[in-house]
Structure 1
Amino acid sequence: MTLTQRQQEVFGHLRTMFLAEGFAHFTIDAAAARLQCSKSTIYALGRTREELIRAVLVHFFKGVTAVTNAALAQPGSVSQRLIAYLETMARALEPASAQFMRDVATSPSASQVYATNTKAATAKLRELLDQGVTTGEFRPAPTALVAEIIASAMDSIQQRTIQHGSGDASSYKALGELIVNGVATPAHLVN
């Protein structure tokens, strides 16, 4: 779908609003008044409230995926790329408020978008762990289990049920170092 410049602006404002305030109490009427646009402008972005919320979430998480994939593509050891992936994810998720993450967790359609992205991230992490085992950087380990543990920890960090240090960035870095040092061969331990 091709959006007009005004529709792109409205979509961007909705994304910003959702990330800052959540979306559980979002209504088309209130958004039209707040953004000083017609309801038809908003309905052009999604035929229903749920469809619009889903479109905004898909757009946000695609952006997160793009920057985390770029981190994985950087040169470096598997350990460096794993830590860079998690740190990049933390930075990409910084705009998401605690309310936004709570709304994601409690909305069935939002939870589905989030689960799809988490599943894809888990698969990427498993591939990365498998690479580390293949190159000898990591000791043989049950990579599927380790990837699931990472995904569970990422969920807890994103939902802010566990934290380390000054917030998400330090929590993701600590998670990366914990995992890397847990599976690294002695010659590849991270300081």
Structure 2
Amino acid sequence: MPRTADRTTRRQDELLDQLVELYLAEGFLRFGVGDLAARLRCSRSTLYLVAASKEQLVVAATRRFFRRAAERIEAEVQAEPDAGRRLEVYLRAVARELGPAGERFYADLAAFAPAAELYAENTRHAARRAQDLVAEGVADGSLRDVDPAFVGAAVAQLMRAIQAGAIADLTGLDDARAYEALADLLVHGLRRPGAR
């Protein structure tokens, strides 16, 4: 028989996953704790076991979303044996992970500083990871001989512009589609002629 603490932790994990789904689909600023309890069919006190306030619930769910997404993305990258394809795999996986997030979620992220900082932190990590993947592809000869630091800096600027909503404002592309477009740009610009 599971210990009470194990059951509580399992229930907290389930609620956190449900919060992530709800927030991605509908945003989070308009929900009070009572609204969340009703939507998730639990008590307020059960939600307060997950986090001590509405704001902390948002931060916990946002952190979980980005952490789980990063784990899935990295698993895809590690499964790709071709160093020249890893950057494409990475950016397309980022796009897929951001796909379920709706417009309201992004608007709420921008409006709530602690969640916006989590997104910015993940964007900085993604830019560093993209630079590393470019360097790996250049080193093994599968990508054109470019300066990985320059490409990484350019990618970082674009990622920050995506995260800040500037790309959406200029192009109408949501974050997921913007990452797809970035993948296309880099794949076609960096791949050696004749590479698959």
Q: Return the offset for 1:147.
A: 2.1
Task: Tell whether 2:181 aligns with 1:181.
Answer: no
The counterpart of 1:22, out of the listed 27, 40, 45, is 27
The one-letter code sitting in structure 1 at the alignment partner of 2:23 is: F
CA contact (8 A) 1:157 1:163 kept: no
The counterpart of 1:143, out of the listed 145, 148, 151, is 148
- Matched residue count: 187
Q: Which runs of 5+ in 2 are unaligned?
A: none
Q: Which runs of 5+ in 1 are unaligned?
A: none
The counterpart of 1:112, out of the listed 97, 107, 117, is 117
CA contact (8 A) 2:98 2:176 kept: no
Q: Using the alignment, how far apart are the partners of 1:53 and 1:43 within structure 2? A: 12
Q: Return the offset for 1:5.
A: 4.0
Deviations 1:129-159 (CA, angstroms, capped at 9, x unpaired): 1112211223333323322332443455565
Cα RMSD of the aligned pairs, angstroms, is 2.6
CA contact (8 A) 1:126 1:147 kept: yes
CA contact (8 A) 2:16 2:60 kept: no
Q: Using the alignment, how far apart are the partners of 1:117 and 1:65 within structure 2? A: 9
The one-letter code sitting in structure 2 at the alignment partner of 1:179 is: L
The one-letter code sitting in structure 2 at the alignment partner of 1:30 is: D
Quickly say closer, same or farther: Cα 1:25–1:145, change in 2 above 3 A: farther
Percent pairwise identity = 34
Q: Using the alignment, how far apart are the partners of 1:68 and 1:95 within structure 2? A: 15
Q: Using the alignment, how far apart are the partners of 1:10 and 1:136 within structure 2? A: 46
Determine the structure 2 residue equivalent to 1:128.
133
The one-letter code sitting in structure 2 at the alignment partner of 1:89 is: V
The one-letter code sitting in structure 1 at the alignment partner of 2:184 is: E
When normalised by structure 2's length, the TM-score is: 0.81
